[in-house]
Structures are given as structure tokens and as C-alpha cells.
Structure 1
Amino acid sequence: MADLVLTICSSLDGYAAKTGGVFSPPPWSDDVEAAWSAAALARAGHLLYGRVNFEFNRAFWSAAETDPASVAAAISYAAQMNALPKTVVSRTLTGDPGWNGRIAGPDLAAEVARLKRETTGDVFAFGSATLAQTLWSLDLVDEFWLMVTPEIFGDGAPVFHPGRPAGQLRLVDCRALDVGSVILRYRRARNR
């Protein structure tokens, strides 16, 4: 059975996005690419997105298939990103979202349970703090990857909202990166 791995970036003061929901990409390097992106793609059999992140990534990665001059076309794992099946959690999207994706049904817990049963590899969730909160609240997260960046936003969308359920985690890995970020990997401490 696949695990659901929740991945999210956070400023040092705990924000996933700046004020107004503005995404601030983490500092990037070959070291970050190997420890974050390549490590995730080595395990991923399915990707789970929130709508905004899905639409951003669809526009970015799809360009690799149609525009050889695009930034995405120069990235070695672009074909893998485009080929992986994807599910989008959204209350507003309808129809075929494209990019090898489908829209999650109204029962997210049942959807994730099905993905865990049917996926070879793991299900990697990429999304906002809202998607993270929803997945955590439904007790669906098996592993948590947090990249803490060397930035202080001062305000914005917090990774952890007040009122979230409590939970115990076990540290799996802690890796300092050459850009000053740190990747923390935790597993849920629960009986399966």
C-alpha cells in the first residue's frame, strides 16, 4: 500500500506563502533539486495537488512538451512530471483538467484511500497550507516533508493553522542544504 507524503515549504517563521497568498519559491540549487525534487520523484507513483498549485505546475511543465526553449524543457525530469498521474483537490474545477490529471471526488478520505491502494510507489501531495491542513485534519498523512527556508516572511499563510488535530511524528531524516534550507522528514507515529 502506498503512503501519502505531504510536502510543503515553510519560511523560518512558519509561513507557506507570503501575505495575500503570494508563493515565494525556495532558494534553489543542484543540492536542493537532488534532495527535494529527485528524491520525491524517485518514490512518487501519483501526485496530489490543490487547484492553484496544479494550475501553476500544469502551465510550467506542459511547456516542456511544446516549447523546446521553455525553462521546463531543460529540466531532466520534465517528462516524468508530465507523465505521472495526478489528482486535483478542487471545489471549482470541472471536467477534464488536462495534464494527466483528474478531479478528486467529494469524499477526499475515500479518494486518498483508493489512491493508496492502487498506486505503485507513493502518493506525493503538493499544495498550499490549505491542502496540508485538510489532509492532516482527515488523518491521511503518513509522511511529512518540510523544507524550512532561511527567510522570515513576518506574516502570510501559516503551514499549521490553529485548531489542527494533534499528532505524534518520528524523525526520519534531517538534511541541511547548500542554500541554507533544511529538509525535515517525519513519519506519523501510529499503528497501521
Structure 2
Amino acid sequence: MRKVIVISHITLDGVMQGMGGPQEDTSGGFAYGGWVSPYADEVVGAVIRREMNMPFDLLIGRKTFDIWAPYWPKHGDIWPAVNKATKYVASNTMTSHEWQPTVFMGGDIAAKVSQLKQQLGPNLHVYGSGNLLQTLMKHDLVDELWLKIYPLTLGGGKRLFADGTIPAAFKLTESKVSPKGVIIANYVRAGAVTTRQC
């Protein structure tokens, strides 16, 4: 069974929007694009390179696809695997694109992702894709969270844990802190939330 693994860079207050650059996602008047780069160091870089070089297929939303499709085919020297991976894209309007291999999925995304998880193949890595993430979390389809938590707050912006978040327990499987204070924490889904019984 394939796993859905969310790979996300977030602030202390959970913002994931526009981490890559000033023009990446300015929706809602977001003015802090590129907030990740001041915290780049050898530890974070090594973790990112390891994740980029694992076998994977992509599971991303339409907006993330629109940001990535013009860029990554021209920069295959940086991340060769992204061009070879099958890109499963949640979209009700797109049906084809020159960046291949790509599969567009409309309609009941939760049901389609559930079917994808049952198929043979590499794990499904989710980057960005805020709206898709809420759907995945609402339907309990996220198996692992690979987080990089940066030492800043932004106050506003799209958040990883938003309207789709359900009560769920996770187990920490890997953690480290980079020299610039980025907390790298990987979690696996660990059943239901338990509370103390008095």
C-alpha cells in the first residue's frame, strides 16, 4: 500500500504559504514570500536532498502544479526525479499538459486518492497544495508528516492545519534541529486521540 506523505515547510504559527519566493503565492495579499531562504543551512539542505532523491510520485493541487510546471522541466539538473515522477494533480478543469507523466483527477478527490493508495507504486509526496491538504486531512488520508518548522511567525497566510484538520494522533519518528534553528520533525499516523481518564 502506498503512503501519502506531506512534506511541508511551516512557520511556528503554521503558515506554509509562499515559502519559496516573493512571487510564489501572493494571494490574499501575502507579502512574506521567500521566508525560508534566510534559514538555509547544511542540515536542512541534506534532509531536503534526501527527500528529493527517494522514489516517489507527486500528489499536488492545481495551484501548485501551475507554479511548478513552468519551472521544473527547465531545471531537471537540480531535481531530476520530479520530471520522471507521475504527477497526480487535483483539478476539475485541466485534462492534459505537456509536463509528463501527469494524471489529472477531478470529482471526488478523496475517493481517488484512497484508490491510488491501494495501487502498487512509490509513495505519494505532497508539497504545497493547501486546499488539497485540507481534503486529505479531513478524510484521514495522510499517513506521514515530514515537517520543517522555522523559527518565525507571520501572523497571516495559508496554514498547514486549517479547516480540514481532524483529531488525530501521530508518533515522532525522526527529529533534529539545524544550526539556524529549524526543527525537522517526521511523524507517522498513530491512531485516534486518547485522553486521560480520571
* TM-score bracket for this pair, using the shorter chain length: 0.7 to 0.9
2:108 is matched by which residue type in structure 1?
Answer: D
Aligned mate of 2:60, from 40, 46, 49 = 49
> Given that residues 110 and 135 in structure 2 are in contact (C-alpha distance below 8 angstroms), is that contact kept between their aligned partners in structure 1?
no
2:22 is equivalent to residue 13 of structure 1: no
> Percent identity among equivalent residues?
28
Q: For residue 123 of structure 2, what is the aligned residue in structure 1?
A: 122
Backbone CA RMSD of aligned residues:
2.3
> Given that residues 69 and 99 in structure 2 are in contact (C-alpha distance below 8 angstroms), is that contact kept between their aligned partners in structure 1?
yes
Higher relative contact order (CA 8 A, sep 6+): 1
Q: For residue 82 of structure 2, what is the aligned residue in structure 1?
A: 81
- How many residues get paired? 179
Deviation at 1:140, TM superposition (A): 0.4
Structure 1 CA distance, aligned partners of 2:163 and 2:96? 34
CA spacing shift, 1:40–1:171, aligned 2, 3 Å: farther
Structure 1 CA distance, aligned partners of 2:139 and 2:162? 14
Equivalent positions of 1:23-172 (< 5 A) are 23-24=33-34, 26-27=36-37, 28-42=40-54, 44-64=55-75, 73=77, 75=78, 78-91=79-92, 93-100=93-100, 101-162=102-163, 164-172=165-173
Structure 2 CA distance, aligned partners of 1:45 and 1:79? 12
1:127 is matched by which residue type in structure 2?
Answer: G
User: TM-score, normalized by length of structure 1?
Assistant: 0.81
Q: Give 5+ residue unaligned stretches, structure 1.
A: 65-71
Would you tell me which structure has more helix in proportion to its own residues?
A: 1
Would you tell me which structure has more strand in proportion to its own residues?
A: 1
Q: For residue 195 of structure 2, what is the aligned residue in structure 1?
A: none
Name which of structure 1's ranges 121-130 and 132-141 shifts more when overlaid on structure 2: 121-130
1:93-140, CA deviations, whole angstroms, 9 ceiling, x for partnerless residues?
322133221111312122212322224221111123322211100110
Q: Give 5+ residue unaligned stretches, structure 2.
A: 19-27, 193-198
